[in-house]
Amino acid sequence: MPNRVHSKEVKEAALRKLAERGVQLEDIALIVYEMQSPYNTGLKLEMCLDSVKAVLEKRELQHAILVGIELDQLAEKKMLSEPLQSIVEADEGLFGCDETLALGSVFGYGSIAVTTFGHLDKHKIGIIKRLDTKAGKGVHTFLDDLVASIAASAASRIAHRLRDDEERSEQAGRASALPEENAG
């Protein structure tokens, strides 16, 4: 049986690849902030960064990052076979495998992650716009979608946590009101 790769190694490789490709986790946190701040008045950038780090713990996302960035890098070195080389290099609009790979990794975070991903794919916010292969140099056909999937997952995670926190404090509020009611 071949050696199993330790999950720590996979996580470190995924983070290293993002850094190598010029993506800082803070850049992704900024997108998360823009997506979630209208719904969460107390939201801090730091909370968005924590959420980005938390979703990057997921193996599914790490694997998608490794596969997608590898294909971008091979395309930059012109090492893919034709016609895939031309399709990835040109960021062909109808290709769709870049979106599919990235989208597949957000499902764990529910429908808010899916709709946020769609929004980011269409509007290309923040660093996603800078990464757009057609606009800049280098091949980022997969990377822009991967960044969108990380941001979408982190945004959805915050939305769900906010509701959990609200419900917890409502419950705590009701519990602390109880003795008075009883006294009355």
Binding residues for Mg ion (CB under 5 A): 98, 141, 144-145
**Which C-beta is closer to Mg ion: that of 8 or that of 122?**
122
> Which C-beta is closer to Mg ion: that of 67 or that of 172?
67
Q: Which is nearer to Mg ion, 14 or 158 (CB)?
A: 14
Q: How far apart are CA 173 and CA 121, in angstroms?
A: 40
Minimum CB separation from Mg ion for residue 173, in Å?
46
Asked if 59 and 105 touch (Cβ cutoff 8 Å), the reply is: no
**DSSP 8-state symbol, 2:** P
CA–CA gap between residue 76 and residue 89 (Å, rounded): 7
| Residue 134 Cβ vs Mg ion, minimum distance, rounded to whole Å | 9
Q: Which residue is nearest to Mg ion (CB)?
A: 98
Report the nearest approach of Mg ion to the CB of residue 65 (Å).
Answer: 14
Cβ distance to Mg ion smaller for residue 27 or 145: 145
The span from the CA of 37 to the CA of 61, in Å, is 24
- For the stretch 174-182, contacts whose Cβ atoms lie closer than 8 Å and that sit 24 or more positions apart, written own/partner, are none
Query: Shortest gap between Cβ of 64 and Mg ion (angstroms)?
Result: 13
